[in-house]
Structure 1
């Protein structure tokens, strides 16, 4: 069982993956946004991939639309690590 997460993250993201008996697959981040690269996530998906855990970083959100589309296409859950998302807004309505 594998779980995809960005290479730039705090150790607790990796710890919970391994504590649950899964193998973390760390993928590249986008150099401009410092967020997980949707393209690198898509390339890393295999039949053993069971989840994607993007990490919102420094109060900025990941590209959730792109990541949700990838997760939906693969039929796997998208679990957000929002520990650094205090004050983050993503496509707020109203």
Structure 2
């Protein structure tokens, strides 16, 4: 059984997001207590070609970006973008 991780979200991450979408994103982000691809629910994928290891979670037309600190068992959610915005910022994922 894998160890559960705490999930921390950057302040202001959901600024400008509708309440309904915010609730849906938060529900999916809670699933990141099992943050590794193939472990637990959600469409998770490691982002290749970045200097720091980062991951993305697909939530409908949105992409949630996060990093994992395995030593502290913490997931840091640092970005939420539409698929189009994510492709412009990070390339095709």
TM-score normalised by length of structure 1 = 0.30
More strand by share: 2
